[in-house]
Amino acid sequence: MKLLVFGKTGQVATELQRLVPDARFLGREEADLSDPESCAAAIAAADCDAVINAAAWTAVDAAEDQEAEATVVNGAAPAAMARAAAARGLPLVHISTDYVFDGAGTDGFVPDHPVGPLGAYGRSKLVGEQGVRAAGGAHAILRTSWVVSAHGKNFIKTMLRLARQHEKLTIVADQVGGPTCAADIAAACVTIAQQLREDPSKSGTYHFSGAPDVSWADFAREIFIQSGLSSTHVVDIPSSDFPTPAARPANSRMDNTMTEQVFGVTRPDWRIGLTKILTELGETGT
């Protein structure tokens, strides 16, 4: 299967390059998501069997002041991709986020749960979802959460850096979700793209996040245990003690049942993925 992937340097795109190096990867110089029609043109001209969109505006706080720009990248561009893919009969796998929900409750969100984003980033991603569905082609919208890897900026790398600077860290404990390793997302995207190509009736919205669900504070504790930095003391704090420009969902739990039933893609254990990430970073220890 010939894959066309939007994204080159992001966490998931980097893992896709490792997994499917023969795929064609489009960076900003070839397909700028701030120019949606360039994305559509790339699909129209590509020799491919399926498309994966692993590119996005991910600066959650910056989106609060630049919502129009974020909505072009996260909303208009995926919609243009979906229309171009549908015109050619190509399946599209589009990565979305738990931020389309309001974060209420303690149950895992199912794919058809009513949406209600708390901020600009979530609203921009919701526009993208709506555009992908409206295009009418074979598609899978894959919502994920708390993405981590050995690449780019993410919670694991931030915690390792801070642990070497401070003996005690205050970490938010009232936000709970499933950390998801970018390598697992990449593998899920490829599997789903293959199955969509064979059976477009599997089109729809799905969830994919790591297990078990955990708070940011407890996630940090596991990072420190596995990295040999367990002497770092984690103090639980409420979100109100760590204000950010964009509100974060208190509940980022997502129900992955449909993804497993339809595609056979099981929910990965993020603790295993964390071990692999720390090994790659050379951060395992005793």
Question: Which string of DSSP letters, residue by residue, matches 32-77?
Answer: -TTSHHHHHHHHHH---SEEEE------HHHHTT-HHHHHIIIIIH
Query: Domain ranges in the chain?
Result: 3-154+179-211+252-268
The whole-number pLDDT of residue 97 equals: 98
**Active-site residue among 25, 121, 146, 263?**
121
Measured distance CA(231)–CA(239) in Å, rounded: 24
Q: Is 206 a catalytic residue?
A: no
3-state helix, strand and coil shares in percent for the chain, rounded to the nearest 5: 45, 20, 40
SS3 at position 209: coil
Q: Specify whether the CB–CB gap between 80 and 109 falls below 8 A.
A: no
Rounded distance, CA 108 to CA 4, Å?
Answer: 32
| Nearest CA-CA partner of 1 in 25, 22, 19 | 22
At residue 32, what is the residue type?
Answer: D
Backbone phi, psi, residue 163, to 5°: -65, -25
What fold, for 3-154+179-211+252-268?
Rossmann fold (3.40.50)
Helix axes 270-281, 182-198, angle to 10 degrees: 120
Task: Verify cis geometry, omega within 30 degrees of 0, for the bond prior to 212.
Answer: yes
Q: Which residues does the chain have with pLDDT short of 50?
A: 286
Per-residue DSSP letter, 211? B
User: Distance between CA 12 and CA 148 in Å, rounded?
Assistant: 9
Tokens encoding 253: 């739990």
What span, in angstroms and rounded, lies between the C-alpha atoms of 255 and 98? Answer: 11
Say whether pTM exceeds 0.85.
yes
Crossing angle between the packed helical segments 270-281 and 216-227, to the nearest 10 degrees: 50
The closest of 160, 142, 154, 214 to 181, measured between CA atoms, is 154
pLDDT, residue 286, reads: 45
From 253, 6, 32, 245, select the one nearest 120 (Cα to Cα). Answer: 245
Q: Is 172 helix (H, G, I), strand (E, B) or coil?
A: strand
